[in-house]
Amino acid sequence: MKRMKVTRRDFLKTSGFITSAVAGSSLLSMANPELHAEAMSAEKSATRTTALAACPYCGVGCGTVIQVENGKIVSMRPDKDHPTNMGLQCIKGLTAAEPIYVDRMEGDPYVRKDVWAEWKKPGHGDMDYVSKTKGSFDEEHFVRVPYHDAGEMVAHRIAHFHKKYGGNSIALYGSGQLTLEGQYLENLLMKGVLSSNTIEANARMCMTSAVTGYFATLGSDTPPLCYEDL
């Protein structure tokens, strides 16, 4: 079988064409695709309010049309008039409202068994205790604990470490997918309350590989494409 020779330029051109074709066929098949595409009755439309917002996830900043009914988000769709995404949006952005309505009390959090056993000792045992199962995520090493009890343990241990070792002994590894409000609150807690400068996000590690790839293939760390180019 003869092997087809494909250059890097050919690969990029083909990838761009396929991406634009898939995006166009799946998202532009409707004038305004919605997460929930049921038709709005006249009664519903009278009680719904519409707001324009930016998607809370990546740095593209896709324009999003959000519809709210009775204080609850019932629809999210890409803004076809927004210059950034022009009516296109990934499924992650279209479902960004769903986590808001997850029942967070459905299922208690996991705590390592030996850590919880130490905490239940008189005086909460050794506050500097380090789990013997650290690094393993097998379910056998965990126990389900009510949210209030788990939160109380975490709060007490943070206060202990802060008092004994100082603010920088407490680190937070956040997410690039937090909302602006969430990032503000975590910075307020870490820097304003705990006086800790040891705060990081997975966005740095996430983009390290992307930037390396951009430099290697395109000579720049700036993503080169926009929808007009495709």
Among the residue ranges 13-17, 35-39, 182-186, the one predicted with the least confidence is 35-39
Instruction: Examine the pLDDT at 72 and tell me if it is beyond 80.
Output: yes
Residue 120 or residue 212, greater confidence:
120
Q: What local confidence, expressed as pLDDT, does residue 172 receive?
A: 93
Closest C-alpha among 97, 60, 59, 58 to residue 77: 97
Domain chopping of the chain, boundaries:
8-28+35-101, 110-204
Residues 6+ away with beta carbon under 8 Å from 7: none
The pair of three-digit structure tokens given for residue 165, joined into one six-digit string: 């070792």
Instruction: Examine the pLDDT at 178 and tell me if it is beyond 90.
Output: no
Between CA 164 and CA 146 the distance in angstroms is 27
Instruction: Read off the DSSP letter of residue 157.
Output: H
Residue 16 or residue 182, greater confidence:
182
Q: Residue 46 — very low, low, confident or very high, per pLDDT cuts 50/70/90?
A: low
The values of phi and psi at residue 32, to 5°, are -140, 80
Contact by Cβ (8 Å): 209, 221: no
Strand-pair partners of 200: 173
Distance between alpha carbon 148 and the CA centroid of its chain, in Å? Answer: 24
- CB atoms under 10 Å from CB of 175, counted, come to 13
Instruction: Examine the pLDDT at 151 and tell me if it is beyond 60.
Output: yes
Contact by Cβ (8 Å): 62, 78: yes
Fold of domain 8-28+35-101 = Phosphorylase Kinase; domain 1 (3.30.200)
The pairing of beta strand 48-54 with beta strand 172-174: unpaired
Range 74-86 average pLDDT: 91
pTM given for the model: 0.53
Q: What is the pLDDT of residues 102-139, one digit of tens each?
A: 765 567 889 999 999 999 999 999 999 999 999 998 98
Range 156-174 average pLDDT: 95
Closest C-alpha among 33, 62, 67 to residue 47: 67
